[in-house]
Structure 1
Amino acid sequence: MKIAVLMGGTSAERDVSLASGLAITKALRERGHDVSVVDTATGFIPEGEEKDLLPGGVKSAPPSNIAQALPLIGLGQVEQLRSADLAFLALHGGAGEDGTVQALLQLVGVPYTGSGPLGSGIAMDKDVTKRLLRDSQVPTLPWRVARAPSFAYDPDTIEDLVGLPCIVKPSRQGSSVGIHVVNDASELQAAVQDASQYDSEVMIERFAKGRELTVGILGDQALPPVEIRPKKGIYDYESKYTPGMTEYLCPAPLDEEVVAQIQAYALRAFKVLKLRGYGRIDFILAKEQLFCLEANTLPGMTATSLLPKAAAASGIDFPELCERIARSAVAG
């Protein structure tokens, strides 16, 4: 197939997207596909220049946006994309994961991997996601949202409903960008202010101490759960993308009943959020109770990423995983 791998962009997760995209590009070429690299911020990248996209590796802090980025509508004019049999999306955050790029690809008639515009937009919005999870009996932690321009919240409501400690994070952002654990009410305002740099809505959610778990979805199959054990603090941006800072156990050491339950919840969440193709659903197991945290429509595909680990535990190596995702998208 002739495949355009879309990566980069201007979101706070640009570096992670580039790492995912370059790994996918290598894997698809190993499978014999004709692969072009398209940075949605700058356009087509000749093969000889691909190595310069991420010379220093994934940084432990969000990168700055690209100046004078390609207007999104210009992406539809990139010949390597328009002539492709498939667009393989390796985008994270921003317009690449909120459904905007997906809508553009539908307009230009290029099939693409992952969920459509509606599912992508729903899953990107943590508030909407949690409302749908709650209504479909997938347990999720109590929360409130502070919105622009004032980012006001009722301290009494937060204390009574959410409680302390709590998690503060941008409502529509990924890779744990802008996330804070607040232990004292006096710290809450500063945490909300910092998270507001990344989004016009900030989520304040109950903090549940427990085992962090995630379930990859491939088609209609729930993959083995992965347990995430950061070596210090919470599973933040640095813990995710700095080698050696987090231990991953796959399959997670769980009782069979818990595995069955978490996989059932993951498949239900995947369906109710109107996702398709592949994705990842995150959970926490606290005091023997599972809580769904969020859904990832375009999960990372780097060396430390969770979906490839889960696929490998099912006997699916990385090139085969990319092949299956690509073939599924073309088949519709």
Structure 2
Amino acid sequence: MARIAVLTGGSTPERTVALAGASQVAAALRGRGHEVAVFDTVEPAALDPELEQQRLGQVVGSRPPSLAELRALEAREDLPALVAGDLGSHDAVFLVLHGRQGEGGEVQELLEAAGIAFTGSDACGSRLAMDKDGSKGIPTPDWAMWPVSAEEVEALGLPLVVKPSRVGSTVGLSVVREVRELDGAVGRALTFDDQVLLERFVGGGEYTVGVLEGQTLAVGEIVPPGDIFDYHSKYTPGLAEELFPARIDDELTERLRRLGLAAHEALGLRDFSRVDFRLDDAGEPYCLEVNTLPGMTNTSLLPQSAAVVGISFDELCERMIRLALTRGRRQGSG
């Protein structure tokens, strides 16, 4: 048995998604005999049982929290103080965070400086996964960072995907089909991030590949109700189909698995990740995103990918925390 801190919440649009995952991760780890304390980044200490039940019992809505709610939450955060406090008294931290805080390397950097073991990739790998230049040799759609010239827009071609660079779950994302729509799309993205990415739209099938301990899991297929697997379709039950394993032939399955593992390794990631692809009209796969802290409810994509190869949700959580605990023991003996 180990003393585990589950760090969750955050002040990003994916806050309620993180809380939902933390609820199930905490239950899984407790079921495995671990002593678990849940920390919300907006609180100065571990949640007491009553507040934990209230906070983790929030339902993921079909819309993310409002900007006013997120700004109020951000004002309450003091991550350096949280890391310097009771968090460090635990054997390891299980990260259930999304967006810039969890996937941009901010929390990882603080934990590394404090010598605290944690799940998932280190700060460097997390930052690289948000950098389009990081995965050399992996096919990605042509892209540019805002602001762009008319010539750059023409070179990318329409339609374009416009999205906040460091926000997940397709929050603030738009598909631009005419140049006159571009300014409005950029404005929407800027409400969530000061870095905006423009990317050539790839309109074919959408697939996802889980990676765990250097091995790929099952390939999944996403069938959204529209062009994009957006926040509304992700978190509204029944709107999108998530099919594991994907309905594709063995050749494409193996190709996606190879590319998924190659992306994971090119970024120097560790432990686990989830790599998302779309096919173009010719059936060629393009990597859209590498998720260093993917969703962690038992119906999230990575756990579904693991389940197909015989890894239950509880076992997946146990394997993730065991990797962190092993690193912690090495740090302690070093």
TM-score norm. by structure 2 comes to 0.92
Q: 2:144 matched to which residue of 1?
A: 144
Q: Post-superposition shift, 1:78?
A: 3.1
Q: Post-superposition shift, 1:185?
A: 0.9
Q: Which moved more, 1:10-19 or 1:224-233?
A: 224-233
Q: Is the 8 A contact 1:37 1:47 kept in 2?
A: no
Q: 1:67 to 1:162 in 2, by over 3 A?
A: closer
Which amino acid is the alignment partner of residue 212 of structure 2?
Answer: L
Q: Post-superposition shift, 1:233?
A: 4.0
Q: Which moved more, 1:315-324 or 1:191-200?
A: 191-200
3-state SS of 1:5 partner: strand
Q: 2:47 matched to which residue of 1?
A: 45
RMSD between aligned alpha carbons? 1.4
Which amino acid is the alignment partner of residue 330 of structure 1?
Answer: L
Q: 1:25 matched to which residue of 2?
A: 26
Q: 1:94 matched to which residue of 2?
A: 100
3-state SS of 2:321 partner: helix
Q: Is the 8 A contact 2:22 2:56 kept in 1?
A: no
Q: 2:331 matched to which residue of 1?
A: none
Q: 1:190 matched to which residue of 2?
A: 184
Q: Is the 8 A contact 1:232 1:245 kept in 2?
A: no
Q: Is the 8 A contact 1:7 1:90 kept in 2?
A: yes
Q: Post-superposition shift, 1:94?
A: 2.4
Please list the CA deviations of residues 193-239 of structure 1 after superposition, one character each: whole Å capped at 9, or x if unmatched: 11011112111111111110010110101111110011234101111
Q: Post-superposition shift, 1:279?
A: 0.8
Q: Is the 8 A contact 2:298 2:313 kept in 1?
A: no
Q: Is the 8 A contact 2:23 2:57 kept in 1?
A: no
TM-score norm. by structure 1 comes to 0.93
> Do residues 117 (structure 1) and 111 (structure 2) align?
no
Equivalent residues, number: 319
Q: Which moved more, 1:96-105 or 1:317-326?
A: 96-105
Percent identity between the aligned chains? 44
Q: 2:239 matched to which residue of 1?
A: 245
In 2: Cα distance, 1:120 partner to 1:138 partner:
17
3-state SS of 2:25 partner: helix
In 2: Cα distance, 1:48 partner to 1:171 partner:
36
Q: Post-superposition shift, 1:247?
A: 0.5
Q: 1:8 matched to which residue of 2?
A: 9
In 2: Cα distance, 1:49 partner to 1:236 partner:
30
Please list the CA deviations of residues 249-270 of structure 1 after superposition, one character each: whole Å capped at 9, or x if unmatched: 1010111111111111111110
Q: 1:319 matched to which residue of 2?
A: 314
Q: 2:288 matched to which residue of 1?
A: 293
Q: 2:85 matched to which residue of 1?
A: 78
> Do residues 302 (structure 1) and 290 (structure 2) align?
no
Q: Post-superposition shift, 1:84?
A: 0.7
In 2: Cα distance, 1:32 partner to 1:55 partner:
22
> Do residues 206 (structure 1) and 200 (structure 2) align?
yes
3-state SS of 1:176 partner: coil
Gaps of 5+ in 2: 328-334
